[in-house]
Amino acid sequence: MVQTKISLLKRTIYGISAIALLFVYYPNVASAAQITSRSVTLGSSVASASTTYSFAFTVPSATVLQSAEFMACTTASGTCTMPSGFSVASSTLTGQPTNLGDASGWTVSTATAGSLRLSKSGNAAAPTGSQTVSFSNVVNPSATNSTFFLRMTTYSTAAWTTPVDTGTVAASTAGQITVTASVDETLTFTLAAATVPLGSLTTSATGSGTSSMTASTNATNGYSITVAGTTLTSGANTITALATPTASSTNNKQFGINLMSNTTPAVGTGVSGSGSGVPTAAYSTANLFKFVTGDTVASATAPTNSNTFTTSYIANIDGVTAPGNYSTVLTYVATANF
């Protein structure tokens, strides 16, 4: 599973942030069973970012485990070459793993470059149900838009020997696009690569614009795309984010998005592509807009070919909206569910 940014300055929108898609490769391993329902979610897909790596998986064996590792490689199999810039030197456990065995006492080892490792020599409990392991302060590879792989192995000893089960997940770094809009006494448009002009925000006209994102996966249970951030802000002043799906209304402070083709205002297009991805319910009704940080805005429930989603943004102001440069940074994260 993976989790990137949008900025809004005056009346002009710049685009969308990064998406990290995570995939699984199934290697042929004769000596160990395949770990199932496996995924990894990155807290950020920005290259060189220090972030969290959260693994979810189910081990098929009931063998008592005393260590596990997640080794970063440029390929899914064969000789492992660590991705340039990837670092575990400052990594820590975000919290104790769940269902891996004992509920406490697991520790991290940073002695092996490129491998996220944890162990507990005294563990005597067998794994149960589904397992989760999360590491903090992991540094992403330094190359943008670069796919890399994390080879998962569990061990029956605390020294990372005697492998029990294995599996592989894939992740990718991604770039970021800034979205900006501003409210000012004068009209200012900022046009550059991947920018979308909003137009002049007034009490009688809605500022609107679009950006797009594309997703696909071969994951068994598809993917989900979330958005995180705050509403448009200038110092202590804000434009109110729409907490529920709401129609655009001039002379009211509003900021919201949806993933539809709208007529009021006339902005956006429907989902395109041959895949099965769809906008989620709160963002799938034409002419109704919402923005709540952490919401899932689109998803697929099975392996799917590519879909392109057009995100429509609307901004309205009332007569007392303070002038200033309004901005925000939004992060889109796509997580594959294997």
Of all residues in the chain, what percent are helix, strand and coil, respectively (each to 5)? 0, 40, 55
- DSSP states along 219-277: -TT-EEEEEE----EETTEE--B-SS-EE--TTS-EEEEESS--SSS------BSSS--
Tokens of 138: 């992991």
Q: Where are the domains of the chain?
A: 28-39+47-168, 183-327
> Which pLDDT value is given to residue 8?
42
> Which pLDDT value is given to residue 199?
72
The whole-angstrom separation of Cα 132 and Cα 49 is 22
pLDDT digits 0-9 by tens, 90-111: 999 999 999 999 999 999 999 9
Q: Is the pTM of this model over 0.75?
A: no
The whole-angstrom separation of Cα 88 and Cα 114 is 6
Q: Are strands 131-139 and 50-58 parallel, antiparallel or unpaired?
A: antiparallel
pLDDT digits 0-9 by tens, 178-200: 767 654 332 322 223 455 567 77
Tell me the CATH architecture of domain 28-39+47-168: Sandwich (2.60)
The whole-angstrom separation of Cα 291 and Cα 281 is 13
Is residue 38 within 8 A of residue 55, CB to CB? The reply is: yes
Q: How many CB atoms lie within 10 A of CB 330?
A: 27
Is residue 133 within 8 A of residue 55, CB to CB? The reply is: yes
Sign of torsion over alpha carbons 28, 31, 36, 40: negative
Task: Give residue 215's identity as a one-letter amino acid code.
Answer: A
Query: Residue 245: exposed, middle, or buried by beta-carbon count in 10 A (0-12, 13-18, 19+)?
Result: middle
Q: Which residue has the tokens 């129609």?
A: 247
Residue-by-residue pLDDT tens, the chain, 338 positions: 333 344 443 333 333 333 333 333 333 333 568 999 999 999 999 999 999 999 999 999 999 999 999 999 999 999 999 999 999 999 999 999 999 999 999 999 999 999 999 999 999 999 999 999 999 999 999 999 999 999 999 999 999 999 999 999 999 998 776 767 654 332 322 223 455 567 778 999 999 988 888 888 888 888 888 888 889 888 999 999 999 999 999 999 999 999 999 999 999 999 999 999 999 999 999 999 999 999 999 999 998 988 899 999 999 999 999 998 887 777 788 888 87
> Phi and psi for 205 in degrees, rounded to 5?
-140, 140
Q: What is the largest CA-CA distance in the chain?
A: 70
Spell out a b/e string for 67-105, using b for 16 or more CB atoms within 10 Å of the CB, else e.
bbbbbbbbebeeeeebbeebbbeebeebebbebbbeeee
Is residue 145 within 8 A of residue 175, CB to CB? The reply is: yes
